[in-house]
């Protein structure tokens, strides 16, 4: 009795977006999580290209040892904006977009818990994107203090203007933080309270587990960064002395507040990528995810450990010896749950009937790059080694293998894998494989040379360098331009296939999951009748049904 | 079932779900008030980390700063702030009574105690303003001045937000029938008020007691 009546009110309460084929819905304040998800993905990909242009300008400068292409202040602004754009405007929003699209579908909900909050959180992204870009127009240009904005560098205000690049940077990051917190509250509430009947915690796809784990990090980490940013802003604008050593302040405190969030933020980024791997490997290897429950729980273990490792970024910041030891140990500990996942994926692929489609290739490539990044990560966790290569290109190489090798490749895998679901069209496999080849080659050409450079002692964030470093820098720059070009077949593929690709049916990959039981693209409220889940995910090779009411999940489009 | 019973049982479900994090969500799919309350609690937990960060910063400064108090300042007067503290903390009990009255469908009782809470909150802010005016150091006087005004100011902003929310909820109580089905806004405002009080107790101990 209650079910019927409540269902009716819920449908009235949520404004339906335009008809599924009306492209204008993407430019509206739509509260449909699928529209918002695509809004996030497209917006963030645009900023990925912007950040990529910055990266190519940086690599263009570094192709010769002299600082000849750019003024040094412009170079500083470039690497600051590159890092800021790539993190706050590409990786975070793109993963939130993917999660937005998938989580309600995967747990069998009609939408997120707070649809309007969801839309509001998205529309902040273009707002702070514009604010950040506007810093090119203010006197003195954008912030030059790097994406971490360490004082006392970030406290300098050479032009003396109240509205300067650093202030706009803090404003943009603050709005980004508010948006992320709104999103995190929404995800956690949705996952805890909106699961379909029968969708117990251990029937949730691993991707949902990783989103849950990642969003918890946002909730406990971001406020620390907010606190640090508020104090930094007061130092710059009001003249307080929290972080100014000349006035008795403590710049290292900012580093603590910054990294208390910004290291766990790495897990906010990588955890959903782990989820993507966990979804994609079983589909294209036709085997259940190996050790599903352990993989699921290890996400939460990573969340817990991520909160006690941040000082490994500060081994060279006058950190006492006992602290270095403690954080070295905790940092190495985090490779245990991560290693569990890696072995689970390898065991999933092992002996499977592999189908090397584009998403599978990107997932395999991303996994390989991640393992490489993991090895250098363990090296960096060791305090003596870290102090040796601190602030060199070794660190830059390490985290680009994580962020580009694993995260960007994982995102590409997700783009291709769920493209038929999101658009109802198939992408071009040939263009996809070309894209993969260019990306894999470009990534390694670009970021592998950074390791020898760092070991030889080339510092990061410099516009000029000793000529002995020239060879590897030229190689890296060629790789960067290759990566720039690699986006072209992708863009062509996505736009071209969306417009005139072959029609996709509801489950082109023969994948198991709630999202594959409804039409492509799904109707505005996803499920006509809520699914009744009766099995664990990843039932490959078992031929048991996932839901009890598969034929009642949807009605034909026309009758809506 | 009469409406009151339905409300009571759904309230009980909400609170039991909020307490344990492994409920079967399926039965309450469209329980929007329950979702809102859960989301609001998650928000408060997250918000508390901002305060924890400020507290941690304060402790670091207090234990490591070379010159902690600005020259000419010997310490903080504790008597008036202590009275203020008593008023603010007592208001947590007063707002609880207001909620009980709302629960018992006694709107005027609710309004009386609700207004009393607002008055006590306003008195707290007034007392804080008086204290700020009497101090001989400012926001930019060293890390002590900075963290003192940052902590009390940020907390004061929360008190102000609480009073504004309370004003809103008081106004909404005059819409006929508005609060018949229990009210998320009132429960959330009340919870926020308790949160602000607990934060103040920690703040009071850190700044005034530990000198």
Q: Which of A1-15, A192-206, A505-519, B43-57 has the lowest mean pLDDT?
A: A1-15
pLDDT the model gives residue B75: 86
φ, ψ dihedrals at A362, nearest 5°: -65, -40
Buried b (16+ CB within 10 A) or exposed e, A531-552: bbbeebbbebeeeeebbebeee
| Residue B181 confidence (pLDDT) | 66
A490, containing H or E segment: helix A470-500
How far apart, in whole angstroms, are the C-alpha atoms of residue A234 and residue A217? 26
* B17 C-beta neighbours (distance < 10 Å), count: 22
A89-108 pLDDT, tens digit per residue, is 999 999 999 999 999 999 99
CB-neighbour burial class of residue B65 (10 A; exposed 0-12, middle 13-18, buried 19+): middle
Tokens of B87: 């008023």
Task: Tell me if chain A has a CB within 8 Å of the CB of B45.
Answer: yes
- CA A354 to CA A357: how far, in whole Å? 9
CB contact under 8 A, B50 and A196: no
Burial A247-262 (b: 16+ CB within 10 A, else e): bbbbbbbbbbbbbbbb
For chain B, say whether A204 makes contact (Cβ under 8 Å): no
B46 vs A: CB within 8 A: yes
Lookup: tokens for A305: 């450990």
* Shortest Cα–Cα distance, A269 to chain B (Å): 19
Q: How confident is the model at residue A1, as a pLDDT? A: 34
Mean pLDDT, rounded, of chain A = 92
Whether the predicted pLDDT of A10 surpasses 70: no
When CB atoms are compared, the residue of B24, B42, B64 closest to A189 is B42
* Parts of chain B with a pLDDT under 70: 1-30, 181-182
pLDDT in tens, A197-243: 999 999 999 999 999 999 999 999 999 999 999 999 999 999 999 99
Would you give the distance in Å from CA A297 to the centre of its chain?
A: 20
Give the mean pLDDT of A167-196. Answer: 96
Beta carbons of A234 and B150 less than 8 Å apart: yes
Torsional sign, CA A320, A323, A329, A331: negative
Tell me if chain B has a CB within 8 Å of the CB of A8. no
Query: Which residues numbered 98-117 in A keep a CB inside 8 Å of some CB on B?
Result: 109, 113-114
- Say whether the peptide bond before residue A88 is cis (omega within 30 degrees of 0): no
Q: Identify the CA nearest to A139 among candidates A159, A162, A168.
A: A159
- Per-residue confidence (pLDDT) for residue B10, from 0 to 100: 42
CB within 8 Å: B43 and A181: yes
Give the integer Cα–Cα distance in Å for A367 and A278.
11
Does the beta-carbon distance from A249 to B17 stay under 8 Å? no
Angle at CA of residue A133, ends A129 and A135, nearest 5°: 125
Mention every residue, 6+ apart, whose C-beta is less than 8 A from residue A65.
A464, A465, A466, A467, A469, A470, A473
pLDDT digits (tens, 9 = 90+) for A251-295: 999 999 999 999 999 999 999 999 999 999 999 999 999 999 999
Question: Where along chain B do its domains lie?
Answer: 35-209
Q: CA of B9 to nearest chain A CA: how many angstroms apart?
A: 14
- Which pLDDT belongs to residue B178? 78
Bridge-partner residues for A142, per DSSP? A165
How far apart are alpha carbons A441 and A437 in whole angstroms?
A: 6
pLDDT more than 70, % of chain A = 95
Q: For residues A115 and A112, give the distance between their C-alpha atoms in angstroms, rounded to a whole number.
A: 6
A547: three-class secondary structure by DSSP: strand
Q: From CA B54, how far away is CA B48, in angstroms rounded?
A: 10
Q: How do the residues of chain B divide into helix, strand and coil, expressed in percent and rounded to 5?
A: 80, 0, 20
Average pLDDT estimate for A62-67: 94
DSSP secondary structure letter of residue A469: G
Altogether, the residues listed in chain A come to a count of: 560
Q: What percent of chain A has pLDDT over 90?
A: 88
Q: In angstroms, rounded to a whole number, what is the distance separating the alpha carbons of residues A353 and A458? A: 45
Q: Which of A424, A430, A429 is nearest to A499 (CA)?
A: A424
Compute the nearest-CA separation of B116 from chain A (Å).
32
Q: Determine the 3-state secondary structure of B91 from DSSP.
A: helix
Give the gap in angstroms from C-alpha A109 to the nearest C-alpha of chain B.
Answer: 8
The greatest distance separating any two alpha carbons of chain A, rounded to the nearest whole angstrom, comes to 78
Predicted-complex ipTM score: 0.91
Question: According to the model, what pLDDT value does residue A39 have?
Answer: 96
Phi, psi of A533 (to 5 degrees): -80, 135
List, in sequence order, every beta strand (DSSP E) within A71-111. Answer: none
- Residue B169 CB partners (closer than 8 Å, separation 6+): B114, B183, B185, B186, B189
Q: Comparing C-alpha atoms, which of B174, B169, B197 is closest to residue B185?
A: B169
- E strand or H helix at B40: helix B32-64
The residue ranges of every structural domain in chain A are: 36-559
The full 3-state SS of A409-462, as one line of letters, equals HHHHHHHHHHHHHHHCECCCHHHHHHHHHHHHHHHHHHHCCHHHHHHHCCECCC
Could you report the per-residue pLDDT of B84-107, keeping only the tens digit for each?
A: 999 999 999 999 999 999 988 899
Neighbours of B26 (CB within 10 A): 18
Return the higher-pLDDT residue of A251 and A544: A251
Q: How far apart are CA B5 and CA B3, in angstroms?
A: 5
Predicted local confidence at residue A560, as pLDDT: 38
Least Cα distance to A70 among A54, A47, A93 occurs for: A54
Note the pLDDT of residue A8.
Answer: 38
For A311-362, the pLDDT digits (tens) are 999 999 989 999 999 999 999 999 999 999 999 999 999 999 999 999 999 9
Taking each continuous run of H as one helix and of E as one strand, the counts in chain A are: 19, 0
Q: Is A224 on the interface with B (CB under 8 A)?
A: yes
Identify the CATH assignment for A36-559 out of 3.40.720.10, 1.20.210.10, 3.30.530.20, 3.40.1440.10: 1.20.210.10
Q: DSSP label at A319?
A: -
A142 three-state secondary structure: strand
Chain B residues touching residue A247 (CB < 8 angstroms): 142
Residue with the two structure tokens 């796809």: A205
Alpha-carbon distance of B24 to B27, in angstroms, equals 7
B35-209 maps to CATH 3.30.930.10: no
Q: Between chains, do B29 and A114 touch, taking CB under 8 Å as contact?
A: no
Q: Does B66 touch chain A (CB under 8 A)?
A: yes
The sign of the dihedral angle between the CA atoms of A228, A230, A232, A238 is negative
A195 and chain B: CB distance < 8 Å anywhere?
yes
Query: Would the pLDDT of A182 be above 80?
Result: yes
Q: How many other C-beta atoms lie within 10 A of the C-beta of residue A329?
A: 12
Round to the nearest angstrom and report the end-to-end CA distance of chain A.
23
Distance CA A53, CA B10 (A): 55
- As a whole number of angstroms, the distance between CA A121 and CA B51 comes to 23
Asked whether the beta carbons of A315 and A324 are under 8 A apart, the reply is yes
Which residues of chain A from 492 to 521 reach within 8 Å of chain B, CB to CB?
Answer: none
Min distance B68 CA to chain A CA atoms (Å)? 9
In this structure, what are the phi and psi dihedrals at residue A503, rounded to the nearest 5 degrees? -65, 140
């Amino acid at each position: 009795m209650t079910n019927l009546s409540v269902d009716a009110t819920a449908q009235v309460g949520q404004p339906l977006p335009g008809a599924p084929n009306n492209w204008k819905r993407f430019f509206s304040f739509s509260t449909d999580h699928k529209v918002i998800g695509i809004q996030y993905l497209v917006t963030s990909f645009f900023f990925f290209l912007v950040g990529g242009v910055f990266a190519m300008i940086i690599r263009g400068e570094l192709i010769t040892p002299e600082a000849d292409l750019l003024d040094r202040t412009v170079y500083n602004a470039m690497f600051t904006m590159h890092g800021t754009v790539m993190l706050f405007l590409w990786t975070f929003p793109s993963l939130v977009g993917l999660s937005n699209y998938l989580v309600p579908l995967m747990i069998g909900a009609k939408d997120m818990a707070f649809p309007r909050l969801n839309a509001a959180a998205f529309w902040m992204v273009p707002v702070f994107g514009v604010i950040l870009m506007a810093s090119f127009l203010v006197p003195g240009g954008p912030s030059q203090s790097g994406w971490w904005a360490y004082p006392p560098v970030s406290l300098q205000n050479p032009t003396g203007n109240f509205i300067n690049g650093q202030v706009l940077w803090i404003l943009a990051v603050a709005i980004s933080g508010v948006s992320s917190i709104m999103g995190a509250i929404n995800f956690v509430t949705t996952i805890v309270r909106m699961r379909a009947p029968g969708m117990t915690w251990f029937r949730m796809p691993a991707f949902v587990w990783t989103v849950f784990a990642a969003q918890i990090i946002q909730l406990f980490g971001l406020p620390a960064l907010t606190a640090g940013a508020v104090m930094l802003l007061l130092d710059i604008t009001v003249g307080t002395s929290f972080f100014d050593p000349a006035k008795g302040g403590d710049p290292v405190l900012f580093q603590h507040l910054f990294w208390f969030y910004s290291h766990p933020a790495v897990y906010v980024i990588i955890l959903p990528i782990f989820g993507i791997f966990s979804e994609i490997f079983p589909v294209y290897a036709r085997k259940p995810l190996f050790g599903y429950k352990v993989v699921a729980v290890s996400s939460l273990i990573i969340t817990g450990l991520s909160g006690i490792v941040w000082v490994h970024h500060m081994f060279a910041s006058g950190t006492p010896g006992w602290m270095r030891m403690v954080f070295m140990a905790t940092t190495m500990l985090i490779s245990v749950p991560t290693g569990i996942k890696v072995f689970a994926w390898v065991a999933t692929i092992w002996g499977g009937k592999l189908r090397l489609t584009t998403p599978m290739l990107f997932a395999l490539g991303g996994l390989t790059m991640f393992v490489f990044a993991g090895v250098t990560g363990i090296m960096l966790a060791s305090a003596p080694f870290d102090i040796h290569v601190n602030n060199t290109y070794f660190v830059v190489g390490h985290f680009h293998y994580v962020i580009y090798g694993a995260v960007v490749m994982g995102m590409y895998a997700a783009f291709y894998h769920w493209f038929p679901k999101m658009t109802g069209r198939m992408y071009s496999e040939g263009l996809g494989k070309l894209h993969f080849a260019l990306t894999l080659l470009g990534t390694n050409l670009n970021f592998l040379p950074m390791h020898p450079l760092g070991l030889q002692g080339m510092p990061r964030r410099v516009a000029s360098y000793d000529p002995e470093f020239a060879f590897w820098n030229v190689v890296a720059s060629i790789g960067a331009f290759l990566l720039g070009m690699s986006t072209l077949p992708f863009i062509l593929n996505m736009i071209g296939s969306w417009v005139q690709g072959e029609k996709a049916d509801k489950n082109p990959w023969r994948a198991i999951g709630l999202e594959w039981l409804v039409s492509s693209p799904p109707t505005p409220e996803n499920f006509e009748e809520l699914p009744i889940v009766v099995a664990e995910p990843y039932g490959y090779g078992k031929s048991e049904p996932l839901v009890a009411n598969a034929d009642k999940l949807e009605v034909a489009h026309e009758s809506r | 079932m009469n409406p009151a019973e339905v409300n009571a049982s759904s309230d009980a479900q909400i609170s039991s779900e909020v307490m344990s994090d492994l409920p079967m969500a399926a039965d309450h799919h469209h329980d929007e008030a329950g979702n809102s309350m859960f989301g609001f609690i998650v928000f408060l937990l997250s918000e508390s980390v901002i305060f924890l960060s400020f507290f941690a910063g304060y402790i670091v400064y207090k234990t490591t700063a070379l010159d902690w108090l600005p020259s000419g300042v010997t310490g903080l007067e504790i008597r008036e702030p202590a009275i203020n503290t008593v008023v603010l903390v007592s208001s947590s009990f007063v707002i609880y009574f207001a909620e009980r009255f709302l629960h018992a469908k006694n709107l005027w009782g609710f309004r009386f105690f609700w207004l009393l809470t607002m008055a006590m909150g306003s008195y707290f802010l007034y007392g804080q303003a008086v204290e700020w005016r009497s101090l001989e150091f400012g926001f930019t006087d060293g890390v002590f001045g900075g963290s003192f005004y940052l902590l009390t100011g940020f907390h004061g902003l929360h008190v102000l937000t609480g009073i504004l929310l309370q004003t809103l909820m008081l106004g909404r109580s005059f819409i006929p029938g508005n609060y018949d089905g229990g009210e998320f806004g009132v429960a959330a405002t009340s919870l926020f008020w308790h949160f602000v009080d607990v934060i103040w107790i920690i703040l009071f101990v850190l700044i005034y007691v530990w000198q």
